[in-house]
Amino acid sequence: GLDLYLSHANTKDIRIIVSGLKRLEQGDFSVRLGVEFKDERDQIVTTFNNIIPKLKEHLRMSSALGVAEEVQQSLLPNSDPTLGGFEIAGTSLYCEETGGDYYDFIQINEERLAVVVGDVSGHGVSSALLMATARALVMLRASMPGSIASIMNDVNKYLSRDTSHTGNFMTFFYCERQAMSQEIRWVRAGHDPALMYKPDSDEFEELKGKGVSFGLDDTFEYEEYQRRLEADQVILIGTDRIWEMRNERGE
């Protein structure tokens, strides 16, 4: 009699737990276990009840990261451009689901091409949306008359309006080339200087220039820089993770 009663009671409690697990499996995050054992099994119940909100938040974050990743990947070029006198290529590898790195090739006309590289502060959906906004502003403004310094001034002015209350910002490097020309022009907005490799002397030179990141000061006036190129010289425009890489000797 008593053993049978205890067996039925335990079976009922287990059924409650199994029912809760099935509801969770079906996506019901409102489920909570109200059973009490008065022994070590109560730890299982407590853990189950505590982990539900964390699982819900984790899935929400995963969904948000998935949206951000989709937005970011859609912004990146799907092929390398052609421009007379230059060989141009770009790539981006994310070590996480999302990152703030951005690069693009903006074909202003048949003779002019802008290569841009940016890095948005933070991660997730907000960074992806800021990146999309910056891309749209740069592409639109680059299609209009004016110096590349004026392009950067206008983009920064409008982008700062969106970031003034968020604290977000974006570093940017704008480099423009013209077909068969031996000169490049660039503007730097808080981004790491580009590297130029000169094979004839086996030396590196930095393409520097003063300029604050987009979104920090809407009144800042950017400066344009230019330089003459020689045959076989290589220019690398990267983001912060590139400069942190080391070889086996730590160099």
The per-residue pLDDT for range 230-240, each reduced to its tens digit, is 999 999 998 87
Place of tokens 């109560």: 42
For residues 104-108, give the mean pLDDT: 91
- Specify whether the CB–CB gap between 152 and 189 falls below 8 A: yes
Among residues 251, 235, 238, the alpha carbon closest in space to that of 197 is found at 235
Q: Which of these ranges, 98-112, 117-131, 143-157, has the smallest mean pLDDT?
A: 117-131
Structure tokens belonging to residue 36: 């009490």
**Share in percent of the chain as helix, strand, coil (round to 5):** 40, 20, 40
Among residues 249, 115, 126, 96, the alpha carbon closest in space to that of 194 is found at 115
pLDDT > 50? residue 4:
no
How far is Cα 42 from Cα 73, in angstroms, rounded to an integer?
A: 46
Q: Pseudo-torsion of CA 57, 167, 139, 78, nearest 10°?
A: -40
If phi > 0 it is left, if psi is from -120 to 50 it is alpha, else beta; for residue 154 that is: alpha
- pLDDT per residue as tens digits for the range 172-219: 999 999 888 889 999 999 999 999 999 999 999 999 999 999 999 999
For 213-250, b/e burial (b = at least 16 CB within 10 A) is bbbbeeebebebbeeebeeeeebebbbeeeeeeeeeee
pLDDT > 60? residue 1:
no
- Specify whether the CB–CB gap between 170 and 214 falls below 8 A: yes
Q: Please provide the average confidence, as pLDDT, over all residues in the chain.
A: 81
